[in-house]
Structure 1
């Protein structure tokens, strides 16, 4: 087993009575990656993460964390020290103050002073809660509570961080703060697996993604490779004048796959198969035709569009 893989699973399956929640999954996540796990509710994401965290045992299959195998029917104490797991429903002790809460978990991981106090200061600074160290947890905002939960999860300096819907219910500013913390953790070499329904966050954070449907891992690859294979190029074109001349020019272009009208912008969304040179030629053609353009820019289909497209293929 290569130490370069932080997470590896072999034919991992989890069955609850007649329901197969996770079905024959082979997953490989390289050390230092931020891996996004995507899928609708009921796809098996939480069950998979719980098995990786040793909180749930697979029915069959093997799990390796940093090269070491998780052993069934054993507590795996040394291996668990390499894992930080933040479930989506972990309770906070509202009557405790922030410092005492983190100190409690640091003691559970047998951190000794002076290292324990130093580590508490480090994680509080990382999650931007140093000024709240003496505050009761019940006085914190939702975003602060989630950052505190993350601090608790990394207090023992794990190698692999497993986050199940960590930004659920957070406002845009709180999500941005959480993203910045994850980026710092990646910079110091931590491997992060994160599930989320906020695909724009994952697109900004992740180096690789996996897409789950009905217990299966239907896609798992580098994010850039996924875009290259699955993301169609779109051109947004707007005009001051009538749309008919623009439609005529677009219909005459062999590199146009399909198009649709965007009424509110008096324009079109065009799916284009050409390269940058072809784009420039199309723009020149439209200008030479006398069409009064107000906008012409290209973009790629985003992660959410790819996810919906792949999910539709799987369903059909």
Structure 2
């Protein structure tokens, strides 16, 4: 669906995007992770044919972004991180304007617009002026606008930016629905844990370079030779801590605040972890819970970019 080869964007001596190579299959929800200025918006703008690459190329549903930009635009719905709305139009009129701009016939627009408003949970605001809508509602209206021509690919640059928690949940649920419809979705967000919930794959970009690519689980597995184990005991935490501190592959012991729990770093495989727990029980360590700490996407990002020189 999307093929990117050697995509590079330079501004004088500054390289905003450095030889990006990436393939995204149809129906995939792909999350782009990176700090501000890492190259996410540059990549999205190039794919949306709004910015010409310095070198390299990309194809969207088989169309070359540089040679066939008009065909590419028919394939994509683009939602930038900053978008304008026409305040003196009603929500329904706003979508009708864009539908007309895409050459959609009036009769078809009358059928399509109510469906889009229902999809983004704005049916009750169809006659409201855009300028009175909340930020979250405006975000959802812009998403509906990007869907007006039924594109195969959605490119969403920071769609949850500036939204309150409830609005972010609503946006996430809409994206899940679009995923079930088979849309290929590229999404960036600074709210990293939420990407993990909705994305099939993520790409970590730093200083214009793709430094990691795969599922969250795959990237975590690559990074975590060491595991953080959290243990809770019924009583005699001191005895339990002493036991685990004496075991091989255990380091960085930390006591937690509840007087019953502690955590440590374990550098071993699953079999060694099982033996560790088994021997603890044989030593009459009264364990209530023994679990591996789940690393979230923020932890993954910080680990991947650790030590990378930032500009």
Please confirm whether the aligned pair reaches a TM-score higher than 0.5, indicating the same fold.
yes
Match of 2:269 among 267, 274, 278: 274
Query: Unmatched 5+ residue regions in structure 1?
Result: 1-5
Q: Deviations over 1:176-206 (max 9, x none)?
A: 1111111111111110010111111100010
Q: How does 1:53-132 map to 2 (within 5 A)?
A: 53-71=48-66, 76-132=69-125
Aligned with residue 209 of structure 2, among 199, 209, 216: 216
**Contact between 2:90 and 2:127, CA under 8 Å: does it hold in 1?**
yes
Task: Give me the whole-angstrom Cα distance separating, in 2, the residues matched to 1:304 and 1:264.
Answer: 23
Measured in 1, the distance between the counterparts of 2:227 and 2:174 equals 32
In structure 1, the partner of 2:19 is: 24
SS of equivalent to 2:106: coil
Structure 1 CA distance for aligned equivalents of residues 255 and 299 of structure 2: 17
Residue 166 of structure 1: which of 147, 154, 159 is its match?
159
In structure 1, what is the equivalent of residue 291 of structure 2?
Answer: 297
Q: Say how many residue pairs are matched.
A: 307
- Structure-2 change in CA distance of 1:295 and 1:22 (3 Å): same
Cα distance between partner residues in 2 of 1:279 and 1:18: 50
- Please give the residue correspondences for 1:190-269 in structure 2 after superposition, counting only pairs within 5 Å: 190-231=183-224, 232-239=226-233, 241=235, 243-256=237-250, 258-266=251-259, 267-269=261-263
The alignment yields a C-alpha RMSD, in angstroms, of 2.0
Q: Distance in 2 between matches of 1:225 and 1:302?
A: 13
CA contact (8 A) 2:152 2:184 kept: yes
CA contact (8 A) 1:35 1:193 kept: yes
Gaps of 5+ in 2: none
State the match for 1:33 in structure 2. Answer: 28
Q: CA deviation at 1:115?
A: 1.6
Contact preservation (8 Å) 1:233, 1:300: no
Q: Is the 8 A contact 2:90 2:129 kept in 1?
A: yes
Residues 105 and 260 of structure 1: CA distance in aligned 2, closer, same or farther (over 3 Å): farther
Q: CA deviation at 1:240?
A: 5.4
Q: Which residue of the partner structure matches residue 285 of structure 1?
A: 279
Distance in 1, matches of 2:292 and 2:216, equals 19
TM-score (norm 1): 0.90
